[in-house]
Amino acid sequence: MTDPRLKAADLPDIQTSTEADGMAQGLSAEEYARAVEICGRAPNLLELGIFSVMWSEHCSYKSSKKWLRQFPTEAPWVILGPGENAGAVAIGDGLAACFKMESHNHPSFIEPYQGAATGVGGILRDVFTMGARPVAILNALRFGDPEHAKTRHLVDGVVRGIGGYGNCVGVPTVGGECEFDASYNGNPLVNAMAVGIAPANRIFTAKAEGAGNPVVYVGAKTGRDGIHGATMASTTFDDEAEQQRPTVQVGDPFTEKLLIEACLELMATDAIVAIQDMGAAGLTSSSFEMASKGGLGVELALDRVPMRETGMRPYEIMLSESQERMLMVLKPGEEGVAEAIFRKWELDFAVIGKLSESGRMVLTWDGDTVADVPIPPLADESPEYDRPWVETTPPAALDQASLPPLGDWQSVLSKLLGSPNGSSKRWIWRQYDHSVMGDSMVVNGVGPGGDSALVRIHGTARALALTSDCTPRYCQANPFEGGKQAVAEAYRNLIAVGAKPLAITDNLNFGSPERPEIMGQFVGCTQGMAEACEALDFPVVSGNVSLYNETNGQAIMPTPVVGGLGVLDDLSQAVSVAYPESGLELVLIGEGHGHLGCSAYLRDVLGRTGADAGPPPPVNLNREKRNGDCVRVLIGKGLVAACHDLSDGGLLVAAAEMALASDIGCDLRVAGLTAGVLFSEDQGRYLIATAHAGAVLSAAYAANVPAGKVGLTGGDALTLNGTRPISLQHLRDTHEGWLPAYADGDA
Amino acid sequence: MSLRAGVVVFPGSNCDRDGAVALAMVAGRKPHMIWHQDTELPPLDLIFLPGGFSYGDYLRCGAIAAHSPVMREVVAAANKGIAVLGVCNGFHLLTESGLLPGALIRNAGLKFVCRSVDLRVERTDSPYAGRYSKDQVLSVPVAHGDGNYIADPDTLAKLEDEDRIAFRYCAPDGSSSEATNPNGSALNIAGIYNETGRVLGMMPHPERAVEPALGSSDGLALFQSIAEVLA
């Protein structure tokens, strides 16, 4: 067979670039000029490709980093904050949890199955790259209006993609969220979070050390898929978006599973100096980051890279985003040990280069140099923008007195529980293997679908609590309060199962940062998040920014998703949303003000959204902390039989969800059957069921936390002040009915 | 003597650890982990074929793994009377390798199904079910895309006549109907035995139901029975 490989001299890659080439690859004129200055000459097309991806918004965070610096990132339990593949926190027993969330929005819109699947694959690699065995996956999904022509197809493809990947690699998908809103019509959000566990003293990083050490490529072969994916993720879409399908990567979860096992097996030896997965911008970004972090240079012989296709060029090899690949620096002489392990798992293994002291990235092709760029200036002088922004104008106060009277609370409750956003998401999580690995906890019959997922830390009596949260309509009305609320809700969901909240990862999804009003949303949300993280002692340890989520100038609602992680020291103390028995008293913790602005009630029942929906409920962070501490202590003392935070739909929806989770009814006893009492989304509140109401109330009083009895569990219906029972069977049919019918094309 | 169990690990197995944990709980020692390329088995009382996606389930679930070197040994051992338990992908392997009749195809609903199901114990005189009572209802999770058991009418009749149906999908009260069938399996079959009752293939995962913290410990008695009878 003749090798169709081009000789170095014949490669188009080595032609000198022009400014027009730079623009075509997404660089501004100033950025191109800076690239020329750094190289001391016009870069060739291969080098230009490296600049283009390294300075893309996706890889460089050039519009966001100024604002990311304000996040608190430290706490005594934080082992690694932002900057590595994932954040790491100490979780007891000498173990660390490594976790991160990442978006795969653009690819999922173009090709939902592969886009979502490779999103899961990528975030898993971020975690096991650090030496952590992945133990849980979550996902935060946002789709367009259910009536929009593409939504049903996207829901189906994304859910199958996540399941197809996660189920095969054998990591349980334990939680997440799913929302529908017309602002996501042209830009669904697929955010995946992975959590892994590693020995705290054996966490691997990307920092290369030791000039001369071998650089090794392992995993799957490199193909032509996903070339320039990072650049695609850094622009807005138009109607032609689907023509970008070739930039979407194709995943193979079977190879990922082998890669997990092979990497963890090698990590148990002493062979690895540094390791980095090939994610966005593939071999370019992984080799660059390793060398840059170590203050070293790197030489790569690109002809040695295992290739899936013949005739590939260096440019394609450097920019491919083929999946399931890793780059490692090994200790000298350890190549044999490493190769044996990867061969055993039937994966590719190739020594493709070595570290150098030159501080340069030198790429060769059959011995000829085809690229030579200095690393520190390219990394350190990557652009940073202080983009112009305007503060979001807060909406006018809502005149609640002018709202129509509540009317029949039963039909309002049915409407909320049966709406696209309020309905059960069981249809989704039933397609995910959530019980593999034998550590996914079920508390009083509740597995997925509770406030936080609980995953036992294998071989210990502890459990991780995991959640993902964001209320985009709050963020749109008031980015600062919405940012605070996203963090506070994650905190609350961890508390509600009895866990101590430790840290968050975030996935900041916004429109184009080049529009001042969008940048204003970004600034407001991140400021609010920073303030909440500070006040709640709940630092940010990793995250991802996804900008340019807009199509034809139509931006998504600001969606800063927060992935929260907490730990429960004694898993037997966990509680869930399900009432374990009849005859328990219901106690409402926290203060209600009857705030209806931005509520699900306004949206789903009165049809009021946007400027007509008023301001979101404010978050009082001091009270949030105080209420949360109080509830956590109560759960720790065994005084709480069930607990649910109040969120969308307020008190009545919370009580109904608890009843549905247990198949035990309840009677709520409240004064004044108003929309404000039943459906307000005032923050910092929990509904608990308890057999020890006296002790709960006095503990709350002592902690200066508002608390009051609001009812009793029992029966097979939900009643208000003993009247007008609405049967659980009816509520269940309503709550469970919408999504399966929709997915089948019947709703 | 305590149970000598072996768990076969194929590339793509993902319930091997879960099975090993459950077996260690009842045996008091860790099982042997057996690599798919091994051509010799240690002395064993039980071989566990775990769930997962062996060889990526490419071609057909379990089809490639059935031709792996270790499966020749497993089939030979089974023919000598060594007990073999195949769960989920392991059940596929048993049908693909001819140790059990029939086949498992795509779920009738065409979707992956992960949920807790109720199982009715059909027979108790096997090494696996001795601790159960007949018609006892167990709560055990399923997690599969291809769990729809099919066989020709003669085979199904034979399975019934020879009392080789191990478990059927049912309602909490033990009644079984189409409504209690998560995947469309013929006769609501969740698991079947070979002629001797020593080879059991089942789609539900008893190893995921061995502790109350996981939502059910109804699967534990299956492993306890194995340890009692086979050790």
Phi then psi for B198, rounded to 5 degrees? Answer: -95, -15
C-alpha–C-alpha distance, residues A728 and A459, integer Å: 38
C-alpha–C-alpha distance, residues A53 and A48, integer Å: 9
Chain B residues touching A254 at Cβ < 8 A: 11-12, 53, 55-58
Give the nearest partner residue to A430 out of B21, B115, B213, using CB atoms.
B115
Write down the pLDDT at residue A235: 65
Distance from CA of B111 to the nearest CA of A (A): 7
Longest dimension (CA), chain A: 86
**Strands in A511-653 per DSSP E:** 540-546, 550-551, 554-555, 559-568, 585-589, 642-645
Q: Which of A348, A222, A338, A332 is nearest to A282 (CA)?
A: A222
Write down the pLDDT at residue A493: 98
Contact across the interface for B14 and A345, Cβ inside 8 Å: no
**Partner A contacted by B7 (CB < 8 A):** no
Residue A124 contacts by C-beta under 8 Å, 6 or more apart in sequence?
A134, A137, A169, A171, A194, A256, A260
C-alpha–C-alpha distance, residues A255 and A253, integer Å: 5
Write down the pLDDT at residue A329: 97
**Strand pairing report for A463-469 and A453-456:** antiparallel
Chain A residues touching B106 at Cβ < 8 A: none
**Partner A contacted by B53 (CB < 8 A):** yes
Beta carbons within 10 angstroms of residue B214's beta carbon: 21
**Strands in A375-458 per DSSP E:** 453-456
Contact across the interface for B114 and A429, Cβ inside 8 Å: yes
C-alpha–C-alpha distance, residues A35 and A28, integer Å: 11
C-alpha–C-alpha distance, residues A190 and A157, integer Å: 11
Residue A411 contacts by C-beta under 8 Å, 6 or more apart in sequence?
none
Chain B residues touching A324 at Cβ < 8 A: none
Report chain B's C-alpha Rg in angstroms: 16
Give the nearest partner residue to A431 out of B11, B56, B112, using CB atoms.
B112
Size of interface A-B (CB pairs under 8 A): 90
Give the nearest partner residue to B11 out of A252, A346, A434, using CB atoms.
A346
Q: Which of B18, B112, B203 should one mutate to test binding to chain A, selecting the residue with the greatest count of A CBs within 10 A?
A: B112
* Burial grade of B125 (CB within 10 A; 0-12, 13-18, 19 or more): exposed
**Partner A contacted by B114 (CB < 8 A):** yes
Q: Which ipTM score applies to this complex?
A: 0.97
Q: Give contacts of A 336-375 with B, CB under 8 A.
A: 345-346
**Partner B contacted by A436 (CB < 8 A):** yes
Distance from CA of B12 to the nearest CA of A (A): 6
Chain B residues touching A436 at Cβ < 8 A: 14-15, 18, 51, 143, 208
Phi then psi for A130, rounded to 5 degrees? Answer: -85, 0
Report chain A's C-alpha Rg in angstroms: 26
Residue of A nearest to B35 (CA): A344
Residue with tokens 């070339």: A227
Beta carbons within 10 angstroms of residue A673's beta carbon: 15
Beta carbons within 10 angstroms of residue A66's beta carbon: 15
Q: Which of B7, B10, B14 should one mutate to test binding to chain A, selecting the residue with the greatest count of A CBs within 10 A?
A: B14
CB B22 within 8 A of CB B219: yes
Number of helices (H) and strands (E) in chain B: give both, helices first: 5, 11
Q: What angle do CA A513, A515, A519 make, to 5 degrees?
A: 50
Banded pLDDT at B231 (limits 50, 70, 90):
confident
**Partner A contacted by B109 (CB < 8 A):** no
Indicate the length of chain B as a whole number. Answer: 231
Chain B residues touching A571 at Cβ < 8 A: 213
**Partner A contacted by B80 (CB < 8 A):** no
Write down the pLDDT at residue A2: 45
**Strand pairing report for A360-365 and A297-301:** parallel
Chain B residues touching A197 at Cβ < 8 A: none
Contact across the interface for A163 and B113, Cβ inside 8 Å: no
Distance from CA of A735 to the nearest CA of B (A): 18
DSSP state of A15: S
Query: Distance of CA A349 to CAs A290, A342, A346, A531, B54, Å?
Result: 18, 6, 9, 46, 22
Write down the pLDDT at residue A1: 40
Write down the pLDDT at residue A230: 60
Beta-bridge mates of residue A606: none
Q: Token pair of A463, please?
A: 């459990």
The SS3 of residue A275 is strand
Chain B residues touching A430 at Cβ < 8 A: 111, 113-115
Query: Distance of CA B55 to CAs A558, B40, B69, Å?
Result: 42, 21, 13
The percent of chain A in helix, strand and coil, each rounded to the nearest 5, is 40, 25, 40
Contact across the interface for A254 and B55, Cβ inside 8 Å: yes
* Burial grade of B37 (CB within 10 A; 0-12, 13-18, 19 or more): exposed
Q: Token pair of A190, please?
A: 């697929």
**Partner B contacted by A449 (CB < 8 A):** no
C-alpha–C-alpha distance, residues B35 and A99, integer Å: 31
Q: Which of A120, A174, A254 should one mutate to test binding to chain B, selecting the residue with the greatest count of B CBs within 10 A?
A: A254
Residue with tokens 């209600």: A592
Chain B residues touching A460 at Cβ < 8 A: none
Contact across the interface for A441 and B113, Cβ inside 8 Å: no
CB A54 within 8 A of CB A379: yes
C-alpha–C-alpha distance, residues B74 and B55, integer Å: 17
**Partner B contacted by A440 (CB < 8 A):** yes
Q: Token pair of A618, please?
A: 């404010």
Residue A218 CA, distance from chain mean position: 26
Residue of A nearest to B212 (CA): A442
C-alpha–C-alpha distance, residues A51 and A381, integer Å: 11
Residues A2, A5, A6, A8, Cα dihedral to 10°: -120
Chain A residues touching B145 at Cβ < 8 A: 167
Beta carbons within 10 angstroms of residue B33's beta carbon: 14
Sign of torsion, CA A170 A559 A286 A159?
positive
The SS3 of residue B228 is helix
Residue A630 CA, distance from chain mean position: 28
Angle between helices A45-54 and A282-294 (to 10 degrees): 70
Beta carbons within 10 angstroms of residue A268's beta carbon: 11
Indicate the length of chain A as a whole number. Answer: 747
CB B171 within 8 A of CB B118: yes
Contact across the interface for A433 and B55, Cβ inside 8 Å: no
C-alpha–C-alpha distance, residues B227 and B222, integer Å: 9
Beta carbons within 10 angstroms of residue B155's beta carbon: 15
Type of residue at A31:
E
The list of chain A residues with pLDDT below 70 reads 1-4, 228-247, 747
Write down the pLDDT at residue A66: 93
- Region B73-84: mean pLDDT is 97
Sign of torsion, CA B105 B110 B114 B115?
negative
Q: What angle do CA B202, B110, A136 make, to 5 degrees?
A: 70
A251-277 per-position pLDDT tens digit: 899 999 999 999 999 999 999 999 999
Contact across the interface for B114 and A168, Cβ inside 8 Å: no
DSSP alpha helix (H) spans, A591-745: 600, 621-636, 650-662, 675-679, 693-702, 728-743
Residue of A nearest to B111 (CA): A431
Residue A333 contacts by C-beta under 8 Å, 6 or more apart in sequence?
none
**Partner B contacted by A257 (CB < 8 A):** yes
CB A97 within 8 A of CB A464: yes
DSSP B178-202: GGG-SS--GGGEEEEE-TTS-EEEE
**Partner B contacted by A431 (CB < 8 A):** yes
**Partner A contacted by B207 (CB < 8 A):** yes
* CB-facing half-sphere around the CA of A524: CA atoms within 13 A: 26
If residue A341 lies in a helix (H) or strand (E), which one and from where to where?
A: helix A335-344
**Partner A contacted by B110 (CB < 8 A):** no
Known active-site residue B207:
yes
- Region B98-127: mean pLDDT is 97
**Partner A contacted by B124 (CB < 8 A):** no
Contact across the interface for A168 and B12, Cβ inside 8 Å: yes
C-alpha–C-alpha distance, residues A103 and A546, integer Å: 7
Contact across the interface for B214 and A435, Cβ inside 8 Å: yes
If residue A373 lies in a helix (H) or strand (E), which one and from where to where?
A: strand A368-374
Residue of B nearest to A262 (CA): B11
Q: Which of B15, B61, B88, B170 is catalytic?
A: B88
Known active-site residue A153:
no
Contact across the interface for A432 and B112, Cβ inside 8 Å: yes
Q: Which of A58, A228, A434, A644 is catalytic?
A: A58
Residue of A nearest to B144 (CA): A433
Sign of torsion, CA A674 A675 A678 A684?
negative
Dihedral class, residue B145 (left if φ above 0, else alpha if ψ from -120 to 50, else beta): alpha
In whole numbers, what is the pLDDT of chain B averaged over residues?
Answer: 96
The SS3 of residue A575 is coil
Sign of torsion, CA A681 A685 A690 A692?
negative
